[in-house]
Structure 1
Amino acid sequence: MGDLQKGERYANIDYIVASSIRGWSIKSIKDSFDIACEWCRKFFVRVQDLPEDLRPQIPAEEWVFIVPKFHIAAHKESCQAQYSSNYTPHVARWDGEHVERLWAWLNAAAPSTKEMNPGARWETIDDFCGFANWRKTVQLGDDLLRLMIEAIPLAQDHAADFAAFDRRLRQERAADVAAWERMVADWEVDRRKPNPYILPKPTISRADVQLRYLTEENREIAAGRVAAEGMGPCSFIVLGIETRQAQ
């Protein structure tokens, strides 16, 4: 943990994160942060400004940035596809929100700690965090049992549904399934490649469709196959849509 002078400035967060892994032999990191989609930009450039003994030695491709599940719902669609733990290998059903749960303890300590000097304040906050960790440790057996009782029947149901869906797809669209699997595998190795979880969106607009049909109508009128008087089919449909929207 670390103090912030004014908001979550990247310089502070970079220093805190680098300090937290200092001296540890870590090969890869799954890094959860509310604004990881913005913070990760030029992260490996900024950390070069840290003291030499704090600079992370983990390769950039082994450092995966994730937005926690509760916070990612407020992000745009491209962030949800790129930084969701749902699409990140080796994180299971982790939600990335655990550090946020400490606020329930620390908010109650705020009226006391804000009157303390820095040393007493830091030690008190450390005690609160230590107590939260101790409770988490001693309750781990009960928590895992409760979650397992809930997860096993749900896992069986979801596995059966997925197996049926996957089997039908492989029967009817085997080539597409193979292509999708390659896209996912490539993206998991290198996240700079096209993200298979971003759904393509139509680029054609209502004005484009209207222009296309009007052009066709004018061609039919010029050829003498349609009368030029009155309202054409396209104009009639547009009028109907506008009337419906007005109502």
Structure 2
Amino acid sequence: MSVALACTACGPGKTTTTESEPTTTLETTSTATSDGTTTTTTPTSTETSPTSTTTGTPASCEAFLPDETTAEQTTITLTNASAGPLWLGAVGCSGLPDLDILDGDGQNHFFVFEPCSPAPCELLMAGECILGCDDCVVPAGLRLDPGASFSILWAGADVEFMEMTAECAPGPGCAGECVAARERPAGTYEITVKAAQQCVGTCDCASPSPNGHCTVDGGIILSEELTVSVPLMFPEMLEIEIPIGG
């Protein structure tokens, strides 16, 4: 994963904080803080972007290693084009927007690591096996004020769920479920975003960001849903903006 980048050409009235997601090796990721700066964390229970598949026991230990892929990350920017605030569901410890990126078969290629998600297989093979759950509190939602934008980096790889064997990672506690980065097929994907125009409960942010977005905590009820779907050519398109409302 790469560090977050600030938008330098967002246009009048637009502000962006960029979340990052893994490239091909499930490295570090970045999360946006309330003031628009970034912090870097390790990937034991952090965000990633791909679809997920599950396989049986591999023929050799090399099967647990990540693919060497060349696809670059795609910047997906969600922009509030309406006259009022919008709310989106949040997922993962970093509170990324809850969206779908579907292929032609309807399989979702936007995967987010949850607090107790399996560790990367390569870490288990290196003996880093005592990995506990992140006790993060996942935000209930993300609020975008009018004209604000929020960007994420969609990785150039998918995730495969595998079962690490004791033969390939013989350390204590190493055997078990893990994930490995896999090359994503080229083609047309469809990004679908759902946002709510009305919110009941704690709909304002305790610490609003100067960039026009913030996360809200639990107890909210969202209504008057807007759904936007746009095509994305992968891996040709490295940037895409999705206006919501307006």
Q: TM-score normalised to the size of structure 2? A: 0.23
Q: Considering fraction of residues, name the structure with more strand.
A: 2
Q: TM-score normalised to the size of structure 1? A: 0.23
Q: Considering fraction of residues, name the structure with more helix.
A: 1
